[in-house]
A and B are shown apart, each in its own frame.
Chain A
Amino acid sequence: MVRFLHTADWQIGMTRRQLEGEAQARFAAARIDVIRRIGLLAQEQGCEFVVVCGDVFETNQLSRQTVGRALEALAEVPVPVYLLPGNHDPLDPLTIYGSPQFVRDRPEHVRVLDGPEPVTVREGVELIPAPWSGKHPDHDLVGAAVTAALGGGRMPTAGSPEPLRIVVGHGAVDVLDPDRHNRAAISLAPLEQALDAGRIHYVALGDRHSRTSVGDSGAVWYSGAPEVTDHRETEPGDVLVVELSGGRPPVVTPHHVGTWTFRTIRRELSGAADVSALRGELAAIADKDRTVLRLALRGVLGVADHAALTDLLEEQGAVFAALTQWERHTRLGISADGAELDDLRLGGFVSAAAEEMRGLAVAGELDQEEECHAGEDPDSLEELDPLDWEFTPDAAEDQQSAADALSLLYRIAREEAR
C-alpha cells in the first residue's frame, strides 16, 4: 500500500493581466504559498511523497527571483517531491531543471523526472514518468513510456510481486481532447487495459486545471491546478490524496488548497432595481481582495441608472483584486426615455444638446446587439498581437461616446442641482 499526493499545473511565474501591481504580486505569492500548504497537507495525510504532473513552472524563462522562491517553498515540503516537466517547462535547451540555479539550489528530496525510465520510489512503488522534452511532441509520450516500462523482459516473474506502478504524465487525454488530430494526445484505452490487467495502478495527469476523473476506471485523474488561473476553470484549487493497494481500486480524496477565485457574473439590467440588486450581489462576495470578477452586463438603462452603475463599478473596482467588464458580453444601452433628463429641468440650449446626444446614444443600439452575437470565440485577446497597437486619438463620435457624454451631462447637472 502506498499513499501519496497528486498535484499538477502549479504554473509558477504566471501573471494575469487584469491584475494591477499589488494584486499581481499577491497572486504570484499565492502560487508559492500553496506549495507550503500542499507540503503540510501531505504530512497531515500521511502521504509518502508528492508527484507534480507537469507545468510546475509557467515557462522555462523565469526570473531567478521566481525560481528561487519556488525552490525555497519546495525545501519546506517535508516529503519527497517528484517534478515532471510538462509542455510549459519542457526539457528543452532552456529547461529550468538544467539551469545552474536549479541544479545548485535543488533540495535533496526534490527530484526531476527527466527521463522516461521508471523510477523506484521505494521497494514495491514505481513511477512511470512521461516528461516533455519539447513543446510539440509528435507522439503519445505517456503511452510510449508505459509500453517501454512494461515491455522488454520485464514481465512479472513468479515469486517477485508486481510493484505498484504510478504513471506520471501531462497533456490532453484523447477522449477529452477536441483536437482529433493531436498526435501527442494520451490514449486512454491502452491505459485502461493496463489498469485492468493490473500492470499499472494509477495514472496521475496534469494539464487540465480543473479536477477531473477520466474514464470510468477511477484510476485516471487530473488533479487540477492548486490555485485557479482562469475564469474557464470549473474545479480548480484542489489536490488529490491517493491511496493505492494491489487488487483494490485506488482511493482518491480531493482536498481544497486554493485561496483565489475567478468569477463571472452575467446579468440583464433594465432599471434601477437591477442596478441595486447588482450592488447587493457584489457586496455579498467574500474575499474580494482574492477574487477576480468579470461582469457581463447587458440591457438598456436610463441615464440616471447608467450613472448609478458607473458609480457602483468605480466604488467596487477598488475593492476587488480585479473587476472587469467582459467586453464581448457587455452591452449596455441608454434608454430612449428622457424622463431623467427632464427631471433635471435642463433649460434652453442645454436641453436641446442633451436631446441631440440622447438621439445618438439610442440610435445605434440595435446594430450593436447584432454584432455582439457574431464573435464568440474565446480569448481573442490572446490571439491578436496585442503589441500591434497605436493609440488613435481622433475616434469619431459614436453611440458609446454619446451615451457616455449624456451620462456625464447627467452627473454634472445632478451635482449642480444638489
Chain B
Amino acid sequence: MKLHRLHLRDVKGILERTVDFPDTGVVVIEGPNEVGKTTLLEAFDLLLDPRAKATSRSRAVKALQPLGRDVGPLVEAEFTVGSHRVRFAKQWLRGSSTELEILSPVREHLSGEQAQHRLDAILAESLDRPLWDALRFTQGGDLGQVSLTDSAVLTEALDGASGADLHSADGSTLLEQVEQEFRRYYTPTGRLTGELKAAVTAASVARDEAVHAHRAVTETQELVERHERLRTELAELTHQETELTDRLTRAREHDAEISALVRAHEKATAALARARQDSVRAGEDQTRRERAQQELAEAEQRLAAAEEAVGTRRDELDVLHAATARLRESRDGARAARDRAVAVAEQAGAEVEHVEAVARVAQLAHTRERLVELQAELAQAHETLGGLPDLDEEAVRALETAERTVVRLRSGLEASSARVSLESLGGSRSLVVNSETLELAAGADSDLSVGAGLTIELPGDLRVTVRPEEGAAQLATDLNRAEALWAELLDQAGVADLAEARSAATRRASAAARVRHLTERLDDLLGGRHQDQLAAELQQAQALLAEHAGRPVDHPLPEDVTTARAVARAAATERREADAALARAETELQEHQRRCAQVELQVERAVGVNAEMSERLERDRAGLAEARQTTPDELLQEAVSTAGAAYARVEAQMGVARRALEEADVDGVRARLARAEQAHQDHQAALVRVRQQLAQVQGQVELVSGEGRQEAYTLAVDEFVRLRAELDAVHRRARAARQLHETLGRHRDAAHRAYVRPYQLEIRRLGQEVYGPSFDLEVAEDLTISSRTLEGTSVPFDQLSGGAREQLGILSRLAVAGLVERGAGVPVIIDDALGYTDPERLERVSTVFSGPGERTQVVLLTCTPERYRRLEGATTIRLTA
C-alpha cells in the first residue's frame, strides 16, 4: 500500500490539514508536540477500519471530535492498495458520509454503504493488515517485538526470499481446525483427554465388570463340577459298601477261629510250665537228702581232725614252759654283770676327780709362791723409783731450752752491747762496778760490756753510769728473766746442771720400766683373778681333795689324770656292753613268754570250737534221722520218676497246640481284620462326609442358580466388547488427529525455520550498517529476535537496553519492508522514535532508513527534527499549529 495524500478537517485539535506524500523515499513529518502528528495516523487507521462506519458512534470515533465543537470530523485519503488507486473519505457524527472514488484501473465513484463495502472488499483482498499493524512503530507503544508470523505478505515474501514454497494463505485456519480436532482427544502435552479418555475409562470399567462377572461364572462352574464330583464319589462309595461289609464279616469269622487256637495254646503252655515245676521240685527233694547225708559224714571227719590238732598244740606248750626257766636265769646273770660294771665305772670316775684335785692343789700352791716373790720385787722397784728425782724427759727438754735461751741471749747481748774499757792508769784501783767490786790492777785494763747498764763507781769519787741503748736494755732484761727461769728449773729438778739432770732422768726411766715389767708379770700370774680369789680356789681344791681322802686303798691311785681318764673310759664301755646284754636277755624272755601265752590261747579256742562242732553234728544227725522217718529215701526216688513222666506227656500236647497255632497265621488274620474294620470305618466316614458336602454344595447351587450369572456375564462381556470397539473407533480417529497434528506442526515449523533465515539475514545486513561488522543476531521461529551479538557478546533481547531494543525494533521493520514485494508492502511508520538513542548512533541509524525507502514508503514522525537531519534525500514536511 502506498499513501499519496491525507486530508483532515475538524479532527481533534486539527482544524484542517493536508499532507502529500511522495511515492518513494523517506518522509519526515516534523512539528512540535500536540501539533497532531499522531492524530494523522490514527485518523487514517480509523478510515480504513471496517467497523468504524460513517454511522458509527463508537468511542474511537467520538475521540476524533474536537473538544467542545459539535462538528463532524472528516478524513480523506488517497492511496494505492493492490491494483487500485482510490480516494476515500468519511465524515462521522455530524453530516456523516462515505465517499469512494476509484481512480484506477477503472474509474468508479461510490458513496454510503456501497462505498464502505467496496473499500472493505478491496482492503480484504489487498491489504495485509497484520503487516500494516506490525510495521508501525510508536515510541509510546511497546518496545517489544514485531508480530509477523500472521502476515501473509511477509510469509510470502519470506517464502520467496528463502526459495521455499511452504506457506499456505489459509494455513492458519486449517491449523486451528486441526488443533481443535487434536484437542478433542489429547491435552497439549499429549495426554489422553476428552472423548478418548472417556472411551478408555468406559472400556476399562466394562472390562473390570466383565472380569468380575466372569469370576462369578467360574465360581459357579467350579461349584457344578464339585457337585458332579461329589455325586460320582457318593455313587462309588455306595457301590463299595456291600463288598466292604462282606469282607469285614469274613474277617471276623476268621478271627474267632484263630482266637480258639490261641487260647488252646496258652492253656498247654501253662500246663507245661506246671509239669516242669513238679518235676524240678521232686528232683530237688532227692538231691537235698543226699547232700544232707554227705555233709554229716564230712562234719564227723572234720571234728576228729580238730581234736587231734589240739593234742599236738598242748605238747608244744609244755616244751615252751620248760624253756622259760632257763631264759629267766640267763636274764638274771646279765643283770648282775651289769651292776658290777656300773660300780667299776663309778669308781673310775671318782679317781679321775681325785687325781685332778691333787694336780690342781699343787698348781695353785705354786702360783701363790710366785706371787709372793713378785710382790716383793715390785715393792723394791717402787722404792728405787721413789728415791730418784722426779725428772722426766720433758723436764730435761725444758732445761735444755732454758739454757739455750740464756746462752743465745747472753751472746746476743755481748755482741750488740757497747763495751766500756777500763784501764788503770795509775795503780790499781778498786772500783765498784755494778755494785761489785772490781779490782783493777795497774796498767791492767778491763773490758766491760755495758749490758743492761753499767754503773762504775770509784767509790767515793765518782760514779759513772752507762746506760745502754734501748734494745740492749731489753735484751738484758730478757736475759735476766731467762737466767732466772733456768735457775728456777734447775732448782726444781734438784740438779746442778744440765748433765746431772740428764743422768737423773735416765735412771728414773730405767726404774719405771722395771716397775712396769713386774706389774705385768703379776697380772699374768693372776690371769685376771684377784689375789683373794686365788686363795679361795686353793681352799676349795683342798676341800675337794679332802673328800677323796676315804678311798679304798686296794689299788694305787693312778699316776696321772690321763691314765685315770683312760681307766674311766674303759669302765664306761664295759658298762654299756653289760647294759646291752641285759636288754637282750630281757627281750628274749618276753618274746618267749608271749609265745607261750599265744599257744595257750590257741589251745583254748580250739577246744571251744570243737565243742560247738560236736554239738551241731549231733543236731544234724538227729534232723536227718527224723526226715528219714517222715519220708524214706525210696519214696523220694519214686516221686522223681512220676514227675518226669507227667512232663513228657504234657510236652507232647504242647507240641500239637503250637503246630496248630503256627499253621494258623494269626498275625495275618488279625491284620486283615484290622484292615477290614478300618476300611469299613473309613468308608462310613467318607459316606458321611460326602453326603454332608453334597448337601452343602446342593444348597450353594440352589442359591446360585437363581442369580443368572451366565446371562450377567454375557451381557457384561458384550458391553465390554462393544465399548472396546467404540474405543477402537475413537482411538482410530484420535490417532489420525494426532498424526495430522504432528505432521502439520512439524512441517509448519520446518517452513518457519526456512523463512526465518532471509529475515535474519536482512536484519543483519541493516544492523551491520549501523553497528559495524561485529553485529549479529538470532531469530526464533516465530520471527522474534531472541538475542543480539555485538563484539562477540550475545545478550538476550529482553535484557537489552531500551535504546537497543528500539533500534532493533526499527531495524526489524525496515527489514520486513525490504523483503516484501514492491507494491505488496505497506508503509513503515516510525512515530517519534529513537528518543532512547544517543546522537552518534542516531546518525548511523538514520542512514538505513533510506534503504527500503526505495521500495516502500517510510514515514518518520518526530518533534525533534535534528534526529533526522542527516537523512539524505528525505522529504520533510513541517507541521505548524
Contact = CB atoms under 8 A, between A and B. Distances in A.
Interface string A401-415: 110111111001101
A415 B740 CA distance: 16
Interface stretch (B23-31, B172-180, B581-589, B679-687): B172-180
B706 A93 contact: no
Given A61-B709, A94-B224, A353-B744, A391 B203 contact: yes
A122 to B, nearest CB: 33
Interface in B740-769: 740, 743-744, 746-748, 750-751
Contacts of A413: 174
Interface stretch (A62-70, A163-171, A185-193): A62-70
A348 B171 contact: yes
A196 interface: no
Contacts of A408: 178, 181, 733, 736-737, 740
B171 A387 contact: no
A346 B167 CA distance: 9
Contacts of A14: 714
Nearest to A391: B200
Contacts of B708: 13, 61-64, 66-67
Interface in A282-324: 324
B264 to A, nearest CB: 58
Contact of B168 (A62, A92, A348): A348
B447 interface: no
A94 B736 contact: no
B712 A63 contact: yes
Given A350-B744, A357-B743, A409-B740, A93 B724 contact: no
B204 interface: yes
Given A400-B732, A404-B736, A405-B740, A349 B214 contact: no
Given A63-B712, A94-B224, A349-B751, A401 B732 contact: yes
A100 B171 contact: no
B177 A349 contact: no
Q: Number of contact residues on A: which range applies?
A: 35 or more
Most buried by B among A66, A352, A395, A413: A352
Given A94-B704, A134-B228, A387 B207 contact: yes
A352 B747 contact: yes
Contacts of A353: 740, 743-744, 746-748
B159 interface: yes
Contact of B748 (A92, A95, A347, A349): A349
Contacts, number: 185
Given A59-B711, A386-B720, A393-B200, A349 B168 contact: yes
Most buried by B among A24, A93, A352, A415: A93
A101 interface: yes
Contacts of A347: 165, 167-171
B790 interface: no
Nearest to A134: B228
A108 to B, nearest CB: 22
Interface in A21-73: 24, 58-64, 66-67
B610 interface: no
Contacts of B211: 387
A105 to B, nearest CB: 12
B175 to A, nearest CB: 8
B798 interface: no
Interface residues of B, number: 67
A94 B743 contact: no
B855 interface: no
A225 B702 CA distance: 30
B736 A393 contact: no
A2 to B, nearest CB: 35
B156 to A, nearest CB: 9
B731 A349 contact: no
B712 to A, nearest CB: 7
A136 to B, nearest CB: 11
Contact of B750 (A94, A349, A351): A349
B751 to A, nearest CB: 4
B136 interface: no
Contacts of A63: 707-708, 711-712
B214 to A, nearest CB: 6
Given A17-B721, A353-B744, A93 B698 contact: yes
A381 B718 CA distance: 11
Interface in B153-209: 159, 165-171, 173-174, 177-178, 181, 192, 196, 200, 203-204, 207
Contacts of A281: none
B167 A13 contact: no
A92 B224 contact: yes
Contacts of A412: 174, 177-178, 181
Interface in A372-405: 381, 386-387, 389, 391, 393, 395, 397, 400-402, 404-405
A32 B220 CA distance: 26
Given A93-B224, A347-B167, A416 B721 contact: no
B705 interface: yes
B674 interface: no
B701 A94 contact: yes
B701 A395 contact: no
A397 B739 contact: yes
Interface in A79-130: 92-96, 98-101
Contact of A356 (B159, B732, B743): B743
A66 B708 CA distance: 9
Given A346-B168, A349-B748, A387-B720, 8 more contacts: A348-B159, A397-B735, A404-B732, A404-B735, A406-B740, A413-B174, A415-B177, A416-B173
19 contacts: A61-B220, A66-B711, A93-B697, A95-B705, A350-B171, A352-B751, A353-B744, A357-B739, A386-B717, A387-B207, A387-B720, A393-B192, A393-B200, A404-B733, A405-B737, A405-B739, A409-B740, A412-B177, A416-B173
> Shortest 5 CB-CB distances between A and B: which pairs?
A404-B736, A63-B708, A61-B710, A347-B168, A17-B718
Interface of A: 13-20, 24, 58-64, 66-67, 92-96, 98-101, 134, 324, 346-353, 356-357, 381, 386-387, 389, 391, 393, 395, 397, 400-402, 404-409, 412-413, 415-416
